[in-house]
């Protein structure tokens, strides 16, 4: 099973992605996580990634597509995966050649997401208010158009992300049976 999770930061994608990964016994892959790891590297590339993600900007499509394809070629992803944070632009969606089973859009208002992120205990360098707002703006501008792309493929399901964690999971599972 190959599943995509789409949603703004704070929508609960990684929580739901990890649940799904456990339930379906397939790996979870987050491009945000990959980039945060790359940002730790003490090299010119590492520095570029760090500056880009900390500002809330998107990484270039060609670099992102190459990294994701390299990961997905690994044997562990052969039988499926839960993908969080990719594709995030129409260019990425169109160039991604994998046949996906389902794309979930976990819908949460900007206000609710900001509220949740403000209440998080852990500190992350890329979670300044400015970067979060930039990420949310970019989501509306460049990521929302991919919903129509997956709707046209007949694999999009919209999930009300403002319910409890358990209720959000239930909604997702109901589409998988
Ligand atoms: P996330 O944890 O998904 O919010 O991702 C953190 C940061 O990683 C984003 O703000 C982007 O800078 C970068 N990133 C993650 N996924 C992508 C993607 N598919 N395309 C471009 N940049 C990405």
pLDDT tens digit sequence for 57-88: 999 999 999 999 999 999 999 999 999 999 99
pLDDT tens digit sequence for 18-42: 999 999 999 999 999 999 999 999 9
Which protein residues are within 6 Å of ligand 1, measured from CB?
9, 31-32, 35, 52-53, 56-59, 64, 85-86, 88, 92, 135
Predicted pLDDT of residue 170: 97
Query: Residue 177: which pLDDT band, with cuts at 50, 70 and 90?
Result: confident
Q: Which atom of ligand 1 is nearest to the CA of 49?
A: 12
Predicted pLDDT of residue 46: 95
Predicted pLDDT of residue 125: 84
- Out of 3.40.50.300, 3.50.50.60, 3.40.50.1970, 1.25.40.340, the CATH code matching 2-176 is 3.40.50.300
Q: Is the pLDDT of residue 47 over 90?
A: yes
| Domain spans in the chain, listed from the N-terminal domain onward | 2-176
Tell which residue, 50, 57, 58, has the closest CA to residue 125.
50
What mean pLDDT value characterizes the chain? 94
For residues 137 and 116, give the distance between their C-alpha atoms in angstroms, rounded to a whole number: 17
Question: Which of 88, 90, 136, 139 best tests ligand 1's pocket when mutated (most atoms within 8 Å of CB)?
Answer: 88
pLDDT tens digit sequence for 154-164: 999 999 999 99
Tell me the CA end-to-end span of the chain in Å, nearest whole number: 12
Identify the residue whose C-alpha is closest to ligand 1 atom 2.
32
């Amino acid at each position: 099973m190959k599943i995509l999770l789409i949603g703004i930061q704070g929508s609960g994608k990684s929580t739901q992605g990890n649940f799904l990964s456990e339930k379906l016994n397939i790996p979870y892959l987050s491009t945000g996580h990959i980039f945060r790891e790359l940002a730790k590297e003490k090299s010119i590339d590492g520095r570029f990634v760090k500056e880009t993600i900390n500002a809330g900007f998107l990484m270039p499509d060609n670099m992102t597509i190459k990294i994701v394809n390299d990961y997905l070629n690994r044997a562990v992803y052969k039988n499926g995966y839960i993908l969080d944070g990719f594709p995030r632009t129409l260019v990425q969606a169109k160039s991604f050649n994998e046949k996906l089973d389902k794309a979930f859009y976990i819908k949460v208002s900007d206000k609710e997401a900001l509220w949740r992120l403000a209440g998080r205990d852990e500190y992350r360098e890329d979670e300044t208010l400015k970067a979060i707002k930039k990420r949310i703006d970019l989501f509306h501008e460049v990521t929302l158009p991919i919903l129509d792309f997956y709707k046209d493929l007949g694999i999009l399901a919209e999930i009300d992300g403002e319910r409890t964690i358990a209720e959000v999971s239930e909604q997702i599972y109901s589409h998988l049976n």
